[in-house]
Every structure is written in structure tokens, then in C-alpha cells.
Amino acid sequence: MTTKIDSIIEDFELLDNWDDRYRYLIELGRTLPPFPEEERSDRTKVQGCASQVWLVSDVSRGEDGPRLAFVGDSDAHIVRGLIAILLALYSGRAARDIVATDPAGVFERIGLKDHLTPQRSNGLRSMVERIRADARRTLAETAQGA
């Protein structure tokens, strides 16, 4: 997964202005796989986002413990792009790595921190917290089953 997030960071760094970066962010959102209609529910909705955002995690077992894969969607183009970045950063990783990974450095490197509205920044934090909460819950469930 690191290669994909590194590639996204490099692409952002090649773009000189924020109009191009926003277009790239929207294009990233278009690469998300189709989100299952039956998963659009209150159970999968991310609270704290101004836009509609849904995230679903799937747990598998790996040599390094449980791993989580995520799918997500939003009704807003830029938010879909943010989801694509988060999935590149977190999806397919070990739960303990997800909990330990702070995305602040990634968002700072691509300049998102300074170019998102306060509402979108809050929504982004809510999405990150949801992903990390799913990983923490998975680790707790795994520890209980051991």
C-alpha cells in the first residue's frame, strides 16, 4: 500500500497550482470501486461529515495479525478524492499499523491541510477516526478471542 500512497504524494507534488490539485483529487475519487448500494445505511455512515460519507471495513487474517480492507463513497466529488487517499494510506494494512499511522504528515506533504475548508477538515478527521476505530475494535475483538 505504501507504493500507492507514495505515488499519489508524488503526483500532488508535480502539480503547481491548487486548481490542478483539486482536479486530481476529484479524479482520484473517480477511481473508487463502485460502492454496494445495500451498504448505504446509518450503520456505515460516517458521523461528523457535512457530506454523505459511507465506509465499510472487511477483516482478514494475515501473518502480522488482522488486516483491514476498506471501501467508501461520498456524494461529494472532493470528498470521494479524500476517501481515495485514505484508502491508499490505510486499506489492506494490519490493524495495528492502521492505529499507529497518523495521516497528518501525508496531508501536510500534499498541502491539503491548508486548502480544505474547516468543514471538510472536520469531515476528514471523522473519516480517519472511523478507520482507526474499526482497527482498534478489530484488535480488541482479536485479543478477546485469543
What ranges in 31-117 are assigned the alpha helix state H? Answer: 77-90, 95-100, 104-109, 112-115
Residues with a known catalytic role? 49
Backbone torsions φ then ψ of 32, nearest 5 degrees = -60, 140
Element housing 132 (H / E): helix 118-145
